[in-house]
Amino acid sequence: MPANLPPQYFETEKKLKSAKSPEEKKEIMEELLSIVPKHKGTEKIQAQLKSKISKLKDQIQKKPKTASHGPTYHIEKAGAGQVVLIGPPNAGKSSLIASLTNAEPEIQNYPFTTPIPFPAMMEYKNVQIQLIDTPPIMSDYIDTWHHELVKGADGVLLVIDLSNPHLEKDIYTVLEKLRENRVEIVTQNQQGSDGARYFYSPSLVVANKNDHPSAQKNLFSPKKTFESQLEFISVSTFKKTRLEELKEKIFKLLNVLRVYSKTPGKKVDYNEPFVFKKGSSVMDMAETVHRDFARKLKYARIWGKDKYKGQKVNREYILQDEDIIELHI
């Protein structure tokens, strides 16, 4: 059933962009909730708004009343996951954001073009993923909040510049600056390693400017040096090479899956998948849809990739990517 939201909803939603504090955001969300017409087609929107309001309430309660040291840039998560772009100056972090999203960050051929973190949304197969552009990291410069941003994100893209013949040094520099704050970036499957000393962030190295004549030569040695710790993909924002593959890799970095909800007797809505961490169950889905569903859930029917054709599964069933789920209460 379509949501058919009134124009007033979208007008109010615009205010969210300029809301600075969690208090302000909570007020706007509450206003949105009061505007949403209450029927079956808006159940998902209502559930999402309620969940966001409750998270904001938590945040407001936990927020320290006194200012902490120095500026901090906590960026509220949005969409299916948050991925932060870091790297040396001029590597093309902002160019990548411009290529992968509808945002138009400033791009210049000099360092420190990006002064503060900047979020933008990337769409991949109907899933929205938040990318955050950041100022550069150099041997004598890293912002005090950089490592916190990395730790809070669901994934990290280390963007490097293939026109640079000294790439190894650039990568070492970024790794060292993060290690100073006990943060280590690694491929997704190493994430679980000894977390006692370091915080391990799942990451991907995006080697940009592969249109440069020496690109392949410049990438050869760093790839060999860091192959046990990092995964590389070489792209060009100028020539738009391998950007679709990059989007897919970013999605995989988040370790999430998409599930489509189906109302009995109706067609599946493929436009708005629910997104869950891998390992989530039917019960997790029911909780997200509505508290009542979680309480009253009897069973679910599932249509999965060639495996299931409407079979009944219980609440403990572990969701698989692109499952179609019909919840029965």
Ligand X SMILES: Nc1nc2c(ncn2[C@@H]2O[C@H](COP(=O)(O)OP(=O)(O)OP(=O)(O)O)[C@@H](O)[C@H]2O)c(=O)[nH]1
Give contact residues for ligand X (rule: CB under 6 A): 89-95, 107-109, 111-114, 135-136, 208-209, 211-212, 236-238
Closer to ligand X by Cβ: residue 82 or 236: 236
Q: Tell me how far apart the alpha carbons of residues 162 and 219 are, in angstroms, rounded to a whole number.
A: 7
* Residue 223 Cβ vs Mg ion, minimum distance, rounded to whole Å: 24
Residue 34: what are its φ and ψ, rounded to 5°?
A: -75, -25
- Is residue 286 within 8 A of residue 315, CB to CB? The reply is yes
| Helix H or strand E encompassing 309 | strand 309-313
Cβ neighbours around 261 below 10 Å, total:
19
* Binding partner of 136, given Mg ion, ligand X, none, CB within 5-8 angstroms per partner class: ligand X
Residue 212 interaction partner, one of Mg ion, ligand X, none, beta carbon < 5-8 Å per kind: ligand X
- Is 208 one of the binding residues for Mg ion (CB under 5 A)? no
- Closer of 109 and 228 to ligand X (Cβ): 109
113: nearest Cα among 131, 88, 130: 88
Instruction: Report the partner that residue 238 touches, choosing among ligand X, Mg ion, none (CB closer than 5 to 8 A by kind).
Output: ligand X
Per rule CB under 5 A, is residue 164 in the interface with Mg ion? Answer: no
What is the spatial distance between Cα 251 and Cα 83, in angstroms, rounded to a whole number? Answer: 10
Cross-strand pairs, 205 = 158, 232
Indicate the burial class of 208 (C-beta count within 10 angstroms; 0-12, 13-18, 19 or more).
buried
State which of residues 42, 90, 101, 114 lies at the interface with Mg ion (CB under 5 A): 114
Query: By CB under 5 A, is residue 113 in contact with Mg ion?
Result: yes
Q: CA quadruple 71, 72, 75, 76: dihedral positive or negative?
A: negative
236 binds Mg ion (CB under 5 A): no
Specify the residue, 94 or 261, whose C-beta has the smaller distance to ligand X. 94
In whole angstroms, the minimum distance from the beta carbon of 83 to Mg ion comes to 15
Choose between 161 and 231: whose C-beta lies nearer to Mg ion.
161
The burial of 137, by beta-carbon neighbours within 10 Å (0-12 exposed, 13-18 middle, 19 or more buried), is given as buried
- Is 94 one of the binding residues for Mg ion (CB under 5 A)? yes
Minimum Å gap between C-beta 209 and ligand X is: 4
Give Dmax (Cα) for the chain. 62
Q: Which does 222 bind (CB under 5 to 8 A by kind): Mg ion, ligand X, none?
A: none
42 binds Mg ion (CB under 5 A): no
Residues within the interface to Mg ion (CB under 5 A) = 93-94, 113-114
